[in-house]
Amino acid sequence: MAESLKDQILDAAVACFLECPPGARIHAAIAERAGVSRPTVYKYVGDQDAIVMALIERDIARMHASAEPIVTQPGTLRQRFVDTIIIVVEYARNHALLQKVLRETPLAVLPWFTVNSEQVIQTGLALFTPHVKQAIADGEFPAVDPTVIVEWCCRLILSLITTPGTIRIDDSAALRRYLEDLLDIGLPR
């Protein structure tokens, strides 16, 4: 019950963040939309920073769920690396709340993906490292530290999502070419 109530509150938070102006304090609106009291919002999710972190963690788990079939498919490290990055970047590109915040108040979210990104990277490591370890054990990946592969992937994804550059992340074919060119530096085809 507690987890479904937390999700109900987080769903209400997403709707409120999408509707409210940047920087608005929205606990009362979240509570009303979720059909709970403000103390219940604090009990299950916490203050506004905790709500943001809970939303990030939930969406990382959802990205993992959408990427897991790609990560676990047979194939080369290179193929899995490229396909995983593309699916996660597409998830972020289509994420209405993330895109709204990046457009309207980037300084509100960029610290979570840059100087305070350790928790986001740790979550990515916890979710994806077991898959890389298994691929190494199965002889599908080179015998390297799996955290290096996963952290590099996380850092590249965070950079692609938050930092404008010459690559159009809204064009999957262009993103694939970019990633393959990047990997030509060190991973054979």
Indicate if the pLDDT at residue 1 is higher than 80: no
Average the pLDDT over 53-81 and give the result.
82
| 89 touches 99 (CB < 8 A) | no
> How far lies 98's CA from each of 20, 106, 143, 169, in Å?
14, 9, 36, 15
pTM: 0.78
Could you report the per-residue pLDDT of 156-185, keeping only the tens digit for each? 998 998 887 788 888 899 999 999 988 887
Architecture of domain 1-46: Orthogonal Bundle (1.10)
Q: Can you give the pLDDT at residue 43?
A: 92
Q: Which of 32-41, 50-59, 100-109 has the highest mean pLDDT?
A: 32-41
Which of 89-93, 145-149, 182-186 is least confident?
Answer: 182-186
**Same fold across 1-46 and 52-183:** no
Number of other CB atoms surrounding residue 67 within 10 Å: 21
Could you report the per-residue pLDDT of 69-84, keeping only the tens digit for each? 887 887 777 788 889 8
Q: Where are the domains of the chain?
A: 1-46, 52-183
Task: Report whether CATH 1.10.357 matches the domain 52-183.
Answer: yes
Q: Can you give the pLDDT at residue 186?
A: 63
Confidence band, pLDDT 50/70/90 cuts, at residue 40: very high
Name the one residue in this structure whose structure tokens are 């999700």: 7
Tell the burial category of 155 from Cβ atoms under 10 Å away from its Cβ (0-12, 13-18, 19+): middle
| 83 touches 70 (CB < 8 A) | yes
Average the pLDDT over 81-101 and give the result.
88
